[in-house]
Amino acid sequence: MLSGQIGGADLDVIAEVNGVHAQAFDPIADGADSISQDLKTNPLTVEALSAINLNLGGLSGALTTILDFATAQDAGVLNEYAYANENAQSANNPDAPEVGGAGAVGNDGTIALSVDDPNPPALGTINLYSILEQATGPGVAQLVDLIAGLNLDIGAVAGLARLDYVCDTARGVTEETVDRDYLLAYLNLIIESNLVGDLVSALNVVLPSLTISTDAVWDLLEAVPLLGPLLLLSALGQGALDVTATVDVSQLTALPIPNTENAALQADLAAGTITIDVASLLGGAYTGAISPFLNELSPNTRLFVDAPLPTNAAASLVDTLVDDLIERLKDLVTVTVRAGSVSGILPTGLLIEGSLRDFLEGGATARFVLAGIPVNLGALLNPLLGGIGDLVETTLSTLLNDSGVLQTALTGINGLLSVLFDVLSGVLALTVNAQNNASGSMPNYYAAITPERRYDVSALHLEVLGMLNLLNLAVARGSVGQNDFRA
């Protein structure tokens, strides 16, 4: 399930994370079921994985400070499976092919999680901040200065390798058939930074100054048939018009922005975090289930390199954040248009009120009373409501885009994302479908695998380039081979 090194500690020799090893040969191997076949499984519990405690030398704390496994998930999806069979050819024996797998694999050696699952369990998180504090390389020190935390949130994973190859010369010779598969439900980068707090402070300064042009609203009122002339006749002229737009800033931090599952960037203003959905960012449209983008990648696809960022990714994410912010504010901006009074003795007045979204969607409430008699304007109000809504939305957008203090905060987030992406493309290597295969950006870990006809696959591999002892971690790895002829 876990192999490699963190902080110089070799995970392959730690009992709690040891994989299982099946081998079938004559004479019988220690611990094997027989000379003809061997099956080993190791269903893992989250509690056992979470209890790993190891001194990591230069890294602060124990291994549990680096790896945090989810405790609320179904532990049954975690398993290690190994099977060896001397027949080793499915044409003669359908159960013969060797299998090595880890992660979301069943006791039959198959991936046990449906790619249509809309709510895949989480494996857990890796504390990349504690790793980067020990690392060197372009942008690392700058990134560490800009953030207070950086976690990689990993969904359910599986790595599975199958080898179909005859070992007994009496059965004939066939070509090796290798099948390597993997599953990676999702990957999220969660960034904690004071720059998010700066954005909140800027919004608290800027939003209360939202002011709507009374002249522009009066022009819209005058253009409405019946309403415009009646307003003039009733002496409720332009000077009597009052237009206010108030913002409930306190509710702005109640939910992440945007509050959707498919956003490449999501800002949680209350928690001071930014979440990057790696699949959505790099081109995988959200389907409501496990990411097809992450599970259709070629061997040794290094994210942010072989699967590159879109053009001007940081700036585009910040622009989208402003758009998402405006979308949230549509429900938090209350607009009131008032002239005269609509209550009392023989009142004459106009009152229109609602949220910005109500105005844009025609749902704002409107009441016009002339000398105590309500005047039903019906459908004549629809263009007016929409016009006022458009005016307020444009004013809000201009306010957010022209505010110097807000642009300073957004520029800070832009810079943070740019440095993060530089580190992910140049120092911290995230490789999906990692294999000992010459194609793609093969991690050094796999380049050193022996013997020659051993085949490995890992759903995810993490490496700090140039500092292999610091981080060289394979998650959910399966391995088969080599298979040799026997007399």
Question: Who's near 72: CB < 8 A, 6+ residues apart?
Answer: none
Phi, psi of 50 (to 5 degrees): -70, -20
Cα-based torsion angle of the residue sequence 305, 422, 1, 29 in order, rounded to the nearest 10 degrees: 60
123: pLDDT strictly greater than 50: yes
92: pLDDT strictly greater than 70: no
Question: What confidence score (pLDDT) does residue 250 get?
Answer: 86
Best-predicted range by mean pLDDT (14-18, 89-93, 341-345, 438-442):
438-442
| Mean pLDDT calculated for residue range 118-123 | 81
175 compared with 218, residue with greater pLDDT: 218
Return the SS3 of 241.
strand
71: pLDDT strictly greater than 70: no
Q: How far is CA 208 from CA 84, 203, 263, in A?
A: 69, 9, 28
Q: Where residue 384 falls among pLDDT bands split at 50, 70, 90? A: confident
Question: What confidence score (pLDDT) does residue 322 get?
Answer: 93
Average pLDDT in the chain: 86
| Mean pLDDT calculated for residue range 236-241 | 68
- Percent of the chain having pLDDT more than 70? 87
Q: Where residue 459 falls among pLDDT bands split at 50, 70, 90? A: very high
Return the SS3 of 283.
coil
Question: Who's near 326: CB < 8 A, 6+ residues apart?
Answer: 393, 396, 397, 400
Q: Where residue 318 falls among pLDDT bands split at 50, 70, 90? A: very high
Q: How far is CA 41 from CA 84, 101, 390, 396, in A?
A: 12, 9, 63, 60
Q: What is the pLDDT of residues 385-403, one digit of tens each?
A: 999 999 999 999 999 989 8
298: pLDDT strictly greater than 80: yes
Question: What confidence score (pLDDT) does residue 300 get?
Answer: 96
Q: Which residue has the tokens 């099946």?
A: 22
- Joined together, the tokens standing for residue 295 give 């599970």
165 compared with 408, residue with greater pLDDT: 408
161: pLDDT strictly greater than 90: yes
Residues in a beta bridge with 274? 191, 267
Picking from 141, 154, 9, the residue whose alpha carbon sits closest to that of residue 73 is 154
Question: What confidence score (pLDDT) does residue 370 get?
Answer: 81
Contact between residue 161 and residue 178 where contact means Cβ atoms under 8 Å apart: yes
Distance (Å, rounded) from C-alpha 437 to C-alpha 46? 31
37 compared with 183, residue with greater pLDDT: 183
278 compared with 237, residue with greater pLDDT: 278
| Mean pLDDT calculated for residue range 197-220 | 93
221: pLDDT strictly greater than 90: no
135: pLDDT strictly greater than 60: yes
